[in-house]
């Protein structure tokens, strides 16, 4: 990233925020660049450019001001849905607020409208369903830039997570399958299973009904048992009233992840989607009723979680009121996803 004019990029990002109707706050002001050995944070709310693939890829990076830059921090990669961009998705999910509270960095890659006019990730095309190519490689490249030793940021490579909504959720599932060595856990909100479609037509069919059987194919669940394979804990969030991506897809994502983890770690991961370790009903004041289920592995480590929310449509649960594809009523998907990431990484590390 040498030679990048961060202030010019910041001005571009501020314009994007203005178009999204987001009022800049203090935490989005450009911070001084960190010098070696200092405790100043890296630029907060900076738009940066990655050249991970042949064409440039833009991403919005949020760094809490109080983050101690000498200590490796977790990184959450957030993938927006169709018609959204990094700025609108950040504003809608309130993930930056969670990052400020819990001290982690957030990166929001942006889809190039030349690849998809609606801003959707092309999760349904074979060219973007494999390691080392297409959009998965571009996103992995952005994350790789951030965790590299010469990065402006101090990131813990063992606590790198990915989450997404709708097409972003489907792409998060792709990344979990193709880059298990990069992402420590995955969260899919209102998304679809890896390779549940291989064309535009089959994508609409999968969105409408789910793809029965996609979650049962070992070769679809894990691209290959090789040196990259490892278990990747997964969380699935979905609304029972989603008319854009059918709720059946939530179970397909869950089952597929269970198969992949069993293939990668058969001695500890052997789960049945119909038999959670624990499950309970809940409802916050003014919120939707929900069912939350968890599966732990043979060592007692949280490995899978399913949050099914009664009456939620195709929207980020507990997001900003009036945000892009949000439902402001609890439960808060942002809080639940971060809690899952924090718990799975802590238990895996013996914390």
Q: Is there a domain that residue 1 lies in?
A: no
In this predicted structure, the answer to whether residue 51 has a pLDDT above a threshold of 50 is: no
Higher-confidence residue: 319 or 347? 319
DSSP letters, 214-273, are: GGG-HHHH-S--STT-----EEEEEETT-SSS-THHHHHHHHHHHHHHHHH-TTT----T
> By residue range, what is the domain housing residue 47?
6-348
Quickly list H helices, 20-166.
Answer: 86-93, 95-102, 134-147
Q: Is there a domain that residue 284 lies in?
A: yes
pLDDT number for residue 5 = 36
| Residue 268, CA distances (Å) to 117, 241, 263, 274, 300 in order | 43, 34, 10, 18, 9
Q: Residues of the chain with pLDDT > 90: what percent?
A: 74
Q: 208 is written with which tokens?
A: 């409408």
Q: Indicate the range of 7-16, 36-45, 158-167, 268-277 predicted with least confidence.
A: 36-45
Q: Is there a domain that residue 195 lies in?
A: yes
Q: Is there a domain that residue 95 lies in?
A: yes
In this predicted structure, the answer to whether residue 52 has a pLDDT above a threshold of 90 is: no
Model confidence, pTM: 0.84
The pLDDT tens digits of the residues spanning 105-137 come to 999 999 999 999 999 999 999 999 999 999 999
pLDDT number for residue 56 = 46
How many folded domains does the chain comprise?
1
pLDDT number for residue 43 = 40
The pLDDT tens digits of the residues spanning 206-241 come to 999 997 655 545 455 555 446 678 999 999 999 999
Cβ neighbours of residue 20 under 8 Å, at least 6 residues apart? 85, 87, 88, 91, 324
Residue 14: CATH number of its domain: 3.40.50.1820
Q: Residues of the chain with pLDDT > 70: what percent?
A: 78
């Amino acid at each position: 990233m040498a030679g990048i004019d961060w202030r010019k990029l910041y001005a571009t990002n501020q314009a994007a925020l203005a178009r999204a109707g987001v009022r800049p706050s203090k935490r989005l002001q450009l911070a001084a660049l960190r010098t070696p050995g200092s405790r100043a944070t890296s630029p907060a709310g900076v738009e940066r450019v990655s050249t991970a693939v042949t064409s440039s890829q833009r991403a919005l990076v949020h760094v809490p001001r109080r983050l101690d830059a000498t200590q490796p921090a977790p990184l959450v990669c957030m993938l927006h849905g169709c018609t959204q961009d990094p700025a609108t998705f950040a504003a809608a999910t309130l993930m930056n607020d969670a990052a400020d509270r819990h001290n982690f960095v957030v990166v929001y890659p942006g889809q190039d409208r030349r690849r998809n006019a609606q801003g959707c990730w092309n999760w349904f095309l074979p060219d973007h369903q494999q390691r080392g190519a297409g959009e998965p490689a571009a996103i992995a490249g952005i994350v790789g830039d951030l965790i590299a030793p010469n990065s402006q940021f101090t990131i813990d490579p063992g606590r790198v997570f990915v989450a997404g909504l709708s097409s972003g959720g489907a792409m998060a599932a792709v990344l979990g399958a193709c880059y298990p060595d990069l992402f420590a856990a995955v969260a899919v909100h209102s998304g679809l299973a890896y390779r549940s479609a291989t064309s535009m037509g089959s994508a609409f069919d999968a969105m409408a009904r789910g793809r029965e059987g996609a979650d049962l194919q070992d070769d679809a669940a894990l691209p290959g048992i090789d040196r990259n394979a490892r278990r990747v804990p997964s969380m699935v969030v979905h609304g029972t009233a989603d008319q854009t991506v059918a709720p059946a897809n939530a179970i397909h994502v869950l089952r597929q992840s269970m198969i992949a983890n069993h293939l990668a770690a058969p001695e500890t991961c052997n789960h049945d989607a119909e038999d959670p370790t624990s499950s309970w009903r809940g409802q916050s004041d003014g919120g939707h009723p929900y069912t939350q289920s968890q599966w732990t592995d043979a060592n007692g480590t949280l490995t899978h979680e399913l949050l099914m929310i009664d009456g939620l449509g195709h929207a980020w649960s507990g997001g900003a009121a009036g945000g892009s594809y949000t439902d402001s009523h609890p439960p808060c998907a942002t809080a639940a996803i971060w809690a899952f990431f924090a718990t799975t990484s802590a238990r895996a590390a013996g914390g």
